[in-house]
Structures are given as structure tokens and as C-alpha cells.
Structure 1
């Protein structure tokens, strides 16, 4: 019979991939300055490209457990503003005040998420840093190895998918 430690290791290895992002529901919201319908654009050769994504919040105890019949809370969609900046932005934590971001980085556009936390924005090809707004701060907890926030690459004729997850009040 396997020891408790070995069983816990097996459960951890099998469960963690499901806890950290096997679901990625993607849909679309309308940019603030757009009058178009909230629908997914049909990409054909030479048509628009951009970023689609979802903003969610994970809270509470997310630790795997053995022998307990405890349900983890599911990610909850967040209705907020999404800020898109051109290029890479150096990270000094997970939050940047909106006023600081406006002064120091090249803002491309802002969009609002819908009630399901989903957004869509057309963008020219390039590298972008995308934040979700919480109060008077912009938040992103994904990073690149060079000390900057995680970026997304938009390529000609393609939609880039992303998911912004706020884990500030979750325990792992």
C-alpha cells in the first residue's frame, strides 16, 4: 500500500493542471468607443486581428486536499476596464496606479469587459501589455523572465487569446 506522502504527491500532480487553467472561455466585449455589436469578428484573409480575453477573480482556499469533500470556489468573471499598452512594461509588483501608467507608458486603448468578464479589441500587429483595472490600480500577475509584465503578440490576421486572473485573495 502506498504511503500517505506518495498518494498526496500523485493527487497533487494529477489535480494541479486542472486547478491552474484548463478552462479558458473566450468571448467578446465592445471597445468603449465602438458602436458595433458584441459579436466575434469573422477572420478572413486580410481582415482584422487583435486580442480577445476574459478577466476573472479566484478567491478562497484553492489548495488540493485528500479525503475532504470540499469544493473550491470557481473563477468569477469581472466586469471592469481593460487597459492595453504598447510594448513591454517593467514590473514592480502586481499593481500600477492608473495615474502612473498614463504618465509613463504608451496607452493604445481601453475596453470594457461584459458581464461575463469577456472582451475583444482590434489591434495592429505588435507586442502589447494588458491590465485589468481594480479601483485606481491596474493589475497583472503574469511576468516574463526579463522582469517585465507578460505581453501578448498580435500577428497579422489572427486573434490572440488571453486570460487575466486576479489571485490576490486566493490561497494556493
Structure 2
């Protein structure tokens, strides 16, 4: 009987380990102010900031309620997978099963994401088996270009 229990424990552990090697990691940066290139001023460096990152199943522009023609959304109509708080430098790391996801942050009660693929999927990120996908999310809602 103890051998059977040990075998079940090993099976459970190996299944958990496969998932724990997949996910995403990176930083969320706040970009604000004048970002226009200028010979008199070097480009500003975006600052990491503490916020909450919302990870949804891959979300298309047709699956959200958009605020005007902006990159803000009042409602996302796909399942929320996970949320994670970044640290003071904007860094985060989260375990996720392999798949395709959309990322958002919030400002004033609305979701924000400003990156799209050719199919109008919002801030798409693919997580591959056994890998952590590097992400650099730029929240530039207060920037001028």
C-alpha cells in the first residue's frame, strides 16, 4: 500500500511541475508626458509602477465594450484567467498553462491595453509549454506622441 501512495504522489508532482514551468514574466511601465523626439532632450525612460495586471483569455476587439475609439474598455466579455499585482518596479511573474491570453491594466475603473495583432486581438501573449514568455506592458495613457 505505501508503494501505491508514493506512486500517486509522484504522478501528481510531475503533472504539477509541467504547468509550473509555463507562464509569463516581465514589467509594466507607466509612460507619461511628452514623448516627441527632440534634439534638445533625450527620450524619457519609462518608469515601472505598482499596479494590477489582468490576464484574460485571448480577447478580440469585438468581445469588449470600448470607450469611444480609445484603448480603454468598460467591459471585457471573455473569462478572466488571473490577476497579479506588480511590485514597486512593475515586475511580475505568474504561472499559467500554455495558451493565448490578453493583458490589461486599469485606470479610473476602465481597462486599458494598446497593442493589437492583425486579427484585432487585444494585447495578445502566447505562453508555450515549459517556457516563461517575456512581457513588457507599456501603459502610455498619459503620454503624448
Say yes or no: TM over 0.5: yes
Residues 1:107 and 2:103 are matched in the alignment: no
Structure 1 unaligned blocks of 5 or more: 1-44
**Which has the larger share of strand?**
2
Displacement, 1:88?
A: 2.8
- 2:128 counterpart (152, 155, 158): 155
Give the number of equivalent residue pairs.
122
Structure 2 unaligned blocks of 5 or more: 1-16
Displacement, 1:132?
A: 1.5
TM-score (norm 2): 0.75
User: What's the counterpart of residue 27 of structure 2?
Assistant: 54
Residues 1:75 and 2:52 are matched in the alignment: no
TM-score (norm 1): 0.64
Displacement, 1:58?
A: 1.2
Q: Is the 8 A contact 2:104 2:123 kept in 1?
A: no
Q: Is the 8 A contact 1:125 1:155 kept in 2?
A: yes
User: What's the counterpart of residue 128 of structure 1?
Assistant: 101
User: Stretches of 4+ moved more than 4 A in 1?
Assistant: none
Q: Is the 8 A contact 1:84 1:109 kept in 2?
A: yes
Residues 1:64 and 2:37 are matched in the alignment: yes
